[in-house]
Amino acid sequence: MAEKLPKIPLHVAFIMDGNGRWARARGLPRLKGHEAGADAVRRVMGYCRDWGIRYLTLYAFSTENWSRPALEVAGLMKLLMVFLRNNERELHEHRVRLRVIGRRADLPAAVVRQITRVEAATAGYDGGTLILALSYSGRSELAQAARRIAEEVAAGTLKPDSISEATVAAHLYAPDIPDPDLIVRTSGEFRLSNFLLWQAAYSELVVTPVLWPDFGADDFRAALEAYAERDRRFGGIGGGDALPEGRNT
Ligand code: IPE
Ligand code: IPE
Ligand code: MG
C-alpha cells in the first residue's frame, strides 16, 4: 500500500486538533469528538507501521488543556485509560515502545500507574516508539531542564561554562528520542501551541484543514509527500539534506 517516496521522516509528530469542532458539526458532545479522535490515533499508528516511520509523537493533552471544563478533562483522562487498555496488546504485538513526555505528576494517579507500567513492559522493544505528550508544555519542559541544570551547578557537578546546547537537550523529557522531522497539525491552525519548542527548531511543518477524527490514509500520504518535496537546508545552502533525517541538535 505504501509506495516509495524519495525520503521518509524518521520521526513524525502530530498536533491532534479539531475533535471539538468535529463533534459540534455533528451536534454531538465534545467528548464524542475525543472518542473519534482516539480511533484516529489507532489508524495513524497503523499508517506509521505501513510507511516504516520509527517514531510517532502525539500531542494528546497540553498543560493549558487543564483549563477546560472539569467534565471534559475527566472524560479525556478516562479515554486515555481506555485507550491504553485497548491498545496495549497491539504495542506488544508490534513490539512498539511507549514513552510519555510531560508533567507526569499532574496526571491522576491511576493514569500514572498505567503509563509507568506500560512503559516498563515495552521498554525493550525495537518495532518503533510511540511518544504520548500528556500534560505537556514546551516552556515547562525547558523550565524543568533549567531547574535540573541549576541543581547540578549548585551541587558542583557541572560548571556554567560547560553548559551547551547538548546539556539542555540532555535534560529534556526524552533526550534519546531524535527531533521530529515532520510536525503535522490538523484543523487548519497555524501555531505550535507550546509543542516541542526546543525540538521543533528545524522540523518541517504541515498544516491540514482536516479535523483530527477525519484524518485518514490519504491525508497521511499527502503530508509525507509534502515532506518529501521539502529541501531541508538547516541553515546551509541546500541541494539535498544537509544532515540525515532524525538529526538531533
Ligand atoms: C484536540 O481537539 C484534542 C485536545 C486538545 C485534547 P480539541 O478539543 O482542541 O478540538 P477543537 O479545537 O475544540 O475543535
Ligand atoms: C493543542 O490543541 C494541544 C493538543 C492538541 C493536545 P489546542 O486546541 O489545545 O490548542 P489551541 O488552544 O487551539 O492553541
Ligand atoms: Mg483545539
Instruction: Tell me whether residue 242 is in a domain.
Output: no
Digits of tens for pLDDT over the chain (249 positions)? 557 899 999 999 999 999 999 999 999 999 999 999 999 999 999 999 999 999 999 999 999 999 999 999 999 999 999 999 999 999 999 999 999 999 999 999 999 999 999 999 999 999 999 999 999 999 999 999 999 999 999 999 999 999 999 999 999 999 999 999 999 999 999 999 999 999 999 999 999 999 999 999 999 999 999 999 999 999 999 875 556 566 555
Instruction: Tell me whether residue 5 is in a domain.
Output: no
For the chain, what is the domain count?
A: 1
Instruction: Tell me whether residue 21 is in a domain.
Output: yes
- Ligand closest to 75 (CA) is 1
Whether 219 is a known active-site residue: answer no
Whether 231 is a known active-site residue: answer no
Instruction: Tell me whether residue 102 is in a domain.
Output: yes
Instruction: Tell me whether residue 51 is in a domain.
Output: yes
- Ligand closest to 29 (CA) is 1
Domain that holds residue 82: 11-137+180-228
- Ligand closest to 72 (CA) is 1
Q: What's the pLDDT score for residue 10?
A: 98
Atom of ligand 2 nearest to the CA of 17: 5
Atom of ligand 2 nearest to the CA of 15: 5
Report which of 133, 62, 47 is spatially closest to residue 94, judged by C-alpha positions: 47
What's the CA-to-centroid distance between 65 and ligand 3, angstroms? 9
Instruction: Tell me whether residue 125 is in a domain.
Output: yes
Q: Is 0.85 surpassed by the pTM of this model?
A: yes
In order, the DSSP letters of 201-238 are: GG-EEEE-SS-GGG--HHHHHHHHHHHHH----TTS--
- Is the C-beta atom of 17 inside 6 A of ligand 2? yes
Number of neighbouring beta carbons within 10 Å of residue 192: 16
Q: State the CATH number of the domain containing residue 131.
A: 3.40.1180.10
- Is the C-beta atom of 219 inside 6 A of ligand 2? no
- Is the C-beta atom of 61 inside 6 A of ligand 2? yes
Pairing of strands 204-207, 11-15: unpaired
Q: What's the pLDDT score for residue 238?
A: 84
- Is the C-beta atom of 83 inside 6 A of ligand 2? no
In the set 19, 65, 181, 248, the catalytic residue is 65
What's the CA-to-centroid distance between 125 and ligand 2, angstroms? 30
Report which of 185, 182, 181 is spatially closest to residue 209, judged by C-alpha positions: 185
59 — phi, psi (to 5°)? -80, 100
Q: What's the pLDDT score for residue 138?
A: 98
Instruction: Tell me whether residue 148 is in a domain.
Output: no
Helix (H) or strand (E) holding 70: helix 70-93
Report which of 140, 137, 143 is spatially closest to residue 65, judged by C-alpha positions: 137
Instruction: Tell me whether residue 43 is in a domain.
Output: yes
Q: Residue 115 in contact with residue 98, Cβ under 8 Å?
A: yes
